[in-house]
Amino acid sequence: MRRKKRPVLIFIPIGIIIGILATTMMLAYLHQPSQTAEPVEPSPPSENDTTMNRLFQVSTKQGRTEWKLEAASAEMDKMNNIGRLKDVSIVFYLKSGSEVSLTADRGIFHTDSKDIEVSGNVVVVNRNYKMVTERLKYRDSRRTLTSSTPLAISDNSSSLMADRMVYDIAKNESVFEGNVMGFFSDKATF
């Protein structure tokens, strides 16, 4: 006697579709802004503040350009020596002649130390890899980029994920920490 296996086989694709829909709905729900959060009104500019529609800043040492920063807008707080930036783009220049580009939704530029903090869709790209994270700090005195939020880095054939990272621009070396996982092929360019 032959049994019909069709009903069981139908449940598998239906289960997969339900799983995909449930995951999509959960991710959409998690990315929605909180309904209970009250919008925060920006404080009115004081007499020490300056607002500008484009900011372009260049950092040079000993006649060599180390980085260039651009922002779509900036609010400069002279009292606290910071600039609040929107739509940030930075190019770091390595001694080897190559470049590392960074983009982010917003940032804070410390005018006294030249340190920069960026957040929101942070993407770092050079000729070999692309890194994505939510927050990144640049420390000018050490020429380091530090991410204390989870990150993913990939090239054409490999990928790596970690909880934290420090990238030494001067040495062109990275250190990854915390739950480091990766997939590497024989074509890796890290």
Q: What would the two tokens of residue 107 be? A: 């940032």
Residue 49's pLDDT is what? 72
Residue 10's pLDDT is what? 59
pLDDT tens, N- to C-terminus, the chain (190 residues): 555 555 555 555 665 666 565 555 555 555 555 444 455 455 555 555 778 888 898 998 888 999 999 999 999 898 899 999 999 999 999 888 889 999 999 999 999 999 999 999 999 998 888 999 999 999 999 999 999 999 999 888 888 999 999 999 888 889 999 989 988 776 545 5
Q: In sequence order, which ranges of the chain are alpha helices (DSSP H)?
A: 6-30
The DSSP 8-state label assigned to residue 187 in this structure reads: T
Helix, strand, coil content of the chain in percent (nearest 5): 15, 50, 35
Residue 100 near residue 126, CB atoms below 8 Å: yes
Residue with the two structure tokens 């529609």? 53
Residue 157's pLDDT is what? 82
Q: E strands, 126-180, where?
A: 130-139, 144-147, 151-154, 159-162, 164-168, 173-177
pTM, two decimal places: 0.70
Contacts of 113 (CB under 8 A, 6+ apart): 140, 141
Residue 39's pLDDT is what? 52
Classify burial at 104, counting beta carbons within 10 Å of its beta carbon; exposed 0-12, middle 13-18, buried 19 or more. Answer: buried
Q: How far is CA 187 from CA 108, 129, 132, 152, 170, in A?
A: 37, 13, 21, 18, 25
